[in-house]
Amino acid sequence: MEEYAYILDYLPSGRPDERDRRGPVAYAVGEEDFVLFELIPKDGVNLLIGDRVYVGKASDKRDKIDRVRGRVELDEMTHNAQNELSFVLQDIVENDPKRFLQVYNEGGPISTRMHSLELLPGLGKKLMKAVLDERRKQPFEDFEDLEERVPGLHKPSKIIAKRIEKEIRNGSEKYHVYTRPPREDRR
């Protein structure tokens, strides 16, 4: 279960297409498993896109969110929330570099023909080999170190954010490195 989520969109007057359930609503993406949520903020709270909010079970820790209305699919969110997703994912990755450097420092083969690094957009066999060669010498300390030591690899944090977004947007993705596979009962 997600403890924290990042706000993708906030509608202080609620969704215009939900006349029976007027009231503020927010859309967010979870910090750990990238679950998409519809949230009900507490009265008088103003949320901004990119805000990190507590959504865990301990209601006494919820200073901005009253309750989680539920999980949602990407196409159930507002267009603004869908558009903000890539920017918020980039922030999540950059705010926790040790977690996301693991794929570069420890990622291994998925099969005899494919390596987990190849799942990252724009990383082919040549760049994968360069990453593997450099990490044998010494693990990467941060994204800047990685970018400096592997020529041709630009914005490695953005590459990870793109992979996460691909997993969220494409439910039929074969490999889920960062997200949970979609639930079968939702189809």
Q: Please, which pLDDT band fits residue 173 given cuts at 50, 70 and 90?
A: confident
Q: How far apart are CA 90 and CA 41, in angstroms?
A: 24
Question: What would the mean pLDDT of 2-22 be, rounded to a whole number?
Answer: 83
User: Which pLDDT does position 185 carry in this prediction?
Assistant: 45
pLDDT digits (tens, 9 = 90+) for 56-94: 998 889 999 999 999 999 999 999 999 999 999 999 999
Judge whether 68 and 28 are in contact, CB under 8 Å. no
User: Which pLDDT does position 53 carry in this prediction?
Assistant: 96
123: which strand partners? none
Which secondary-structure segment (H or E) carries 159?
A: helix 156-169
Tokens for 182? 């979609």
Q: Give the percent of the chain with pLDDT over 70.
A: 95
pLDDT digits (tens, 9 = 90+) for 17-35: 765 567 899 999 999 999 9
Judge whether 3 and 35 are in contact, CB under 8 Å. no
Residue 119, burial from CB neighbour count under 10 angstroms (0-12, 13-18, 19+): buried
pTM to 2 decimals? 0.87
Q: In the chain, what are the domains?
A: 4-76 (2.40.50.140), 96-180 (1.10.150.280)
Q: Give the percent of the chain with pLDDT over 90.
A: 73
Q: In this predicted model, which residue has the larger pLDDT, 139 or 178?
A: 139
User: Which pLDDT does position 174 carry in this prediction?
Assistant: 83
Q: In this predicted model, which residue has the larger pLDDT, 141 or 175?
A: 141
- How far lies 162's CA from each of 95, 99, 122, 157, in Å? 15, 16, 10, 9
Tokens for 17? 């297409």
User: Which pLDDT does position 184 carry in this prediction?
Assistant: 58
User: Which pLDDT does position 20 carry in this prediction?
Assistant: 54
State the average pLDDT for the chain: 90
